[in-house]
A and B are shown apart, each in its own frame.
Chain A
Amino acid sequence: MKVEQISIFIENKSGRLAEITRILGDAGINIRALSLADTSDFGILRLIVNDVEKAKSVLKECGFTVNKTEVIAVEVPDRPGGLSCILQALDTDRINVEYMYAFVERCAGNAVIIFRFDDTDKAIHTLTGSGFTILEGERLYSM
C-alpha cells in the first residue's frame, strides 16, 4: 500500500536542482511527481521516480545525501470538496499530515495526492476503512 519516495538535501545555492535533474535524466530516470520544501538556508527535494533504487544510487555517487521514505498515494475525487472529505476522515482519527503534494497524472478520472503522515499505518487503516482508494507503488511508478 505504500509508495517509496526519495528525498534529497540541497543547500540554497544556484544550480543544485539543475544538477539533480541532469543526473537523473542521464541515468534514464523519469520523475513522476515532486515537491520542494524550502527554508532560508536549505531545501528538501522529494521525488517519486520510476526507479527508486537506481535514482538513489546515482545521486549518492554524486555526493548527495539521499533518504528513502514511505508515503501514501491516494485517489482524490476530482470535484469540489474531494480533498476535504479525505482530510476530515483523517482529522477524525487524529492523524497528522506532515506534508502532501499532487501527482501529475490522473488515475481513472481521479486526481492523485501523495501524503506523508505522522502515523502511516493508521492512516492506511482509516482511509481504506472510509472507502478511499490507495494506489500501489508499482502502479504509480509506471503511470
Chain B
Amino acid sequence: MFYNEEFETLPRPALEALQLKRLQSVLERVYANVPFYKALFERYGVRPADIQGLDDLQRLPFTTKQDMRDSYPYGLFAAPMDEIVRIHASSGTTGKPTVVGYTHRDIETWSELMARSFVAAGAHKGDIIHNAYGYGLFTGGLGAHYGAERLGASVIPISGGNTKRQIMIMQDFGSTVLTCTPSYSLFMAEEAKAEGVDFKKLKLRVGIFGAEPWSEAMRGEIEAKLNLAAIDIYGLSEIMGPGVAIECIEAKQGLHIWEDHFIPEIINPQTGQRLAEGERGELVITTITKQGIPLIRYRTRDITSLTYEPCICGRSHARITRMSGRSDDMLIIRGVNVFPSQIEAILVGIEGVEPHYLLVVDRIGNLDTLEVQVEVDERLFSDEVKVLQRLAKQIEKEIKDMLGVTCSAKLVEPKTIQRSEGKAKRVIDNRKL
C-alpha cells in the first residue's frame, strides 16, 4: 500500500533527476536568502551553479548544530517571518534550544511525508491513531498528528503521560495504531498488566515507535507484549520532525528515507569523507524542498548505513539501517535529547556546585533513569541534613525545568568520581539496547 504511489515508487533515474533539480533550486534559495550560507559557500569557493550533478554535493560544506546555535533563533531561516506559520525547537548543546520554522508548504510536505509513513507502517484511513508523542515544542506530537489527519484517520491527541488514562482510552476508544517512544510502549504494557488489562484483547494492530534508539530484541518484546506490529520511525526537528524515514511493514528491513525531499549521505565522522553504500558512519541530510529552514549537508550525528537495494515493498527510496549510536555525546533519555554540557551549565549555575559530576543512565522497568552524581565539597557541605537535601532537590528541579527530564541527584564524597587523564568521564550508560 502507498499513500503517494507515483513518488514513492519513482524509478531511480527519475528520482535522481528530481533530486538534482530540487537541490539546485534550494542552493540558489539559501545562497540568495541566508547570509550564513552565502558566506559559507564563498569561504569554500563554491557557488550554486557549480553543482551540476548529485556527486557535486560533496563539494559543499556541512551544516552543524553549532551553526544553528550561532544563528539562534532565526538566523538560518530562508523565508521571511510573515511566511513562517509554525516554530518548533529541540535541545541545543547548552541552554539555548535549536529553533526551526515551517512555512505553510513545509507543513503540507511534513503532513504528506508523515501520512506516507503511516501507510508504509500499515495504517490507513479508518484507523484510530492513539498519538502519545508529546505535543508542544517537540515535533513528535504535532508531526504525527498532522500526518494522521492528512491520511484521514481518526487521531486521538492524547500526548504523553497519565498512563492509566492512556490505557482506559485505548480500551474504550478502540485505538488501532499507537505512536510513542518504544520504551513508553513497554511501560504501558506493564501498567496495563497491573491494571488487569490484556493487550491481546485491545484492537491495536500497529505501533510506530521512534525518538530514541531501540533494538531488534526490544521489537520482539514489544510485539509480544503489546500484540502489534512494531515499526521504527526516524526524524529530527532540524530536518523536519518525525517521518523523515520509516520502515515498511512488508520488510521491516531498514527505514525508507523520503528521497524526493531529502538527500542522505553517510560520512566518516572524523574525516568528513563520504562512505560507500553499506558502510557504517554518520548520517548527513540535505533538505531539498524546505522553505522555512533548508539545511545543506546537515550532520545528524546519528550512526547508520545506507542501502539502495530494491525493497520487496516496491518503494524506490533508499533505506537507512536502525540507528546504532551517536557520533557526539548526546543522550536520549525517555525521548528527550540531553547533552552533558547542558547539565554542566546548570550545575555551575547553582551557587557553589563544582562541576565534578557524573551522569548515570539506566533502564529500569523499561523506563530510562538518570542519576546525577555531584561531589560535595566544603562550600556545599553543611552539618544539617535539610541543607543538603535542599541542594539535591534544587539540582533535580533545575534540570527538570531547563531540560524537561526527571532525574535524581545524588550527593557523593569528593574524589569518588573517577578522573581520567585529560577529559573526565561524565557519562555511564548502563542501558542495554
A interface residues (Cβ-Cβ under 8 A, vs B):
5, 7, 9-11, 37, 39, 41-42, 44, 46, 63-67, 69, 98-99, 116
In the complex, 29 of the A-B residue pairs with CB atoms within 8 angstroms, ordered by the A residue number, are A7-B381, A7-B382, A9-B381, A9-B388, A10-B413, A11-B412, A11-B413, A11-B416, A39-B385, A39-B388, A41-B392, A41-B411, A42-B388, A42-B412, A44-B382, A44-B384, A46-B383, A63-B414, A63-B415, A64-B413, A64-B414, A65-B378, A65-B413, A66-B378, A67-B378, A67-B382, A69-B383, A116-B383, A116-B384
Interface size on B, residues (CB 8 A): 18
B223 lies within 8 A of chain A by Cβ? no
Interface string of B142-177 (1 = CB under 8 A from A): 000000000000000000000000000000000000
- Whole-angstrom distance from the CB of A126 to the nearest CB of chain B? 21
Given contact pairs A11-B416, A39-B389, A67 touches B381 in the complex (Cβ within 8 A): yes
Given A42-B388, A67-B383, 4 other A-B residues pairs in contact with their CB atoms under 8 A: A41-B392, A63-B414, A63-B415, A66-B378
B377 lies within 8 A of chain A by Cβ? yes
Instruction: Provide the residues of chain B in CB contact with A67, threshold 8 Å.
Output: 378, 381-383
Instruction: Provide the residues of chain B in CB contact with A69, threshold 8 Å.
Output: 383
B410 lies within 8 A of chain A by Cβ? yes
Residues of chain B in range 395-432 having any CB-CB distance to chain A below 8 Å: 410-416
Find out whether the CB atom of B412 lies under 8 angstroms from the CB atom of A7. Answer: no
B107 lies within 8 A of chain A by Cβ? no
Q: Once bound together, how far apart are the Cα atoms of A11 and B375, in whole Å?
A: 10
B376 lies within 8 A of chain A by Cβ? yes
Instruction: Provide the residues of chain A in CB contact with B416, threshold 8 Å.
Output: 11
B interface residues (Cβ-Cβ under 8 A, vs A):
376-378, 381-385, 388-389, 392, 410-416
Q: Once bound together, how far apart are the Cα atoms of A37 and B382, in whole Å?
A: 12
Instruction: Provide the residues of chain A in CB contact with B383, threshold 8 Å.
Output: 5, 7, 44, 46, 67, 69, 116
Taking CB as reference atom, which chain A residue is nearest B411? A42
Taking CB as reference atom, which chain B residue is nearest A67? B381
Q: Once bound together, how far apart are the Cα atoms of A99 and B412, in whole Å?
A: 23
Instruction: Provide the residues of chain A in CB contact with B385, threshold 8 Å.
Output: 37, 39, 44
Q: Once bound together, how far apart are the Cα atoms of A78 and B315, in whole Å?
A: 90
Q: Would you call the interface of chain B mostly helix, strand, loop, or mixed?
A: loop
Q: Once bound together, how far apart are the Cα atoms of A10 and B388, in whole Å?
A: 12
Find out whether the CB atom of B377 lies under 8 angstroms from the CB atom of A65. Answer: yes
Q: Once bound together, how far apart are the Cα atoms of A10 and B378, in whole Å?
A: 13
Taking CB as reference atom, which chain B residue is nearest A5? B383
Given contact pairs A7-B383, A65-B376, A44 touches B414 in the complex (Cβ within 8 A): no
Q: Once bound together, how far apart are the Cα atoms of A66 and B376, in whole Å?
A: 10
- Whole-angstrom distance from the CB of B418 to the nearest CB of chain A? 14
- Whole-angstrom distance from the CB of B412 to the nearest CB of chain A? 6
Instruction: Provide the residues of chain A in CB contact with B410, threshold 8 Å.
Output: 41
Q: Once bound together, how far apart are the Cα atoms of A10 and B414, in whole Å?
A: 10
Q: Once bound together, how far apart are the Cα atoms of A90 and B392, in whole Å?
A: 31
Q: Once bound together, how far apart are the Cα atoms of A99 and B385, in whole Å?
A: 10
- Residue from the set B384, B411, B412, B414 with the largest chain A CB neighbour count within 10 Å: B384
**Residue among A9, A37, A116 making CB contact with B411, cutoff 8 Å:** A9
Q: Once bound together, how far apart are the Cα atoms of A39 and B415, in whole Å?
A: 21
- Whole-angstrom distance from the CB of A57 to the nearest CB of chain B? 13
Taking CB as reference atom, which chain B residue is nearest A65? B381
Q: Once bound together, how far apart are the Cα atoms of A63 and B414, in whole Å?
A: 7
List the 5 shortest-distance A-B pairs measured between CB atoms, nearest first.
A7-B383, A69-B383, A65-B381, A37-B385, A63-B415
Taking CB as reference atom, which chain A residue is nearest B380? A65
Q: Once bound together, how far apart are the Cα atoms of A99 and B387, in whole Å?
A: 13
Find out whether the CB atom of B376 lies under 8 angstroms from the CB atom of A9. Answer: yes
Instruction: Provide the residues of chain A in CB contact with B412, threshold 8 Å.
Output: 11, 42
- Whole-angstrom distance from the CB of B91 to the nearest CB of chain A? 28
Taking CB as reference atom, which chain A residue is nearest B416? A11
Instruction: Provide the residues of chain A in CB contact with B376, threshold 8 Å.
Output: 9, 42, 65
Q: Once bound together, how far apart are the Cα atoms of A116 and B387, in whole Å?
A: 14
Q: Once bound together, how far apart are the Cα atoms of A10 and B381, in whole Å?
A: 11
Q: Once bound together, how far apart are the Cα atoms of A44 and B413, in whole Å?
A: 11
Q: Once bound together, how far apart are the Cα atoms of A42 and B383, in whole Å?
A: 12
Q: Once bound together, how far apart are the Cα atoms of A125 and B383, in whole Å?
A: 23
- Whole-angstrom distance from the CB of A17 to the nearest CB of chain B? 13
- Whole-angstrom distance from the CB of A10 to the nearest CB of chain B? 7
Q: Once bound together, how far apart are the Cα atoms of A46 and B392, in whole Å?
A: 20
- Whole-angstrom distance from the CB of B378 to the nearest CB of chain A? 6
Q: Once bound together, how far apart are the Cα atoms of A94 and B392, in whole Å?
A: 29
Q: Once bound together, how far apart are the Cα atoms of A65 and B412, in whole Å?
A: 10
Given contact pairs A39-B389, A65-B376, A66-B378, A98 touches B415 in the complex (Cβ within 8 A): no
Q: Once bound together, how far apart are the Cα atoms of A99 and B383, in whole Å?
A: 10
Q: Once bound together, how far apart are the Cα atoms of A41 and B383, in whole Å?
A: 15
Q: Once bound together, how far apart are the Cα atoms of A10 and B376, in whole Å?
A: 10
Instruction: Provide the residues of chain B in CB contact with A39, threshold 8 Å.
Output: 385, 388-389
Taking CB as reference atom, which chain A residue is nearest B388? A42
Instruction: Provide the residues of chain B in CB contact with A99, threshold 8 Å.
Output: 384
Instruction: Provide the residues of chain B in CB contact with A41, threshold 8 Å.
Output: 392, 410-411
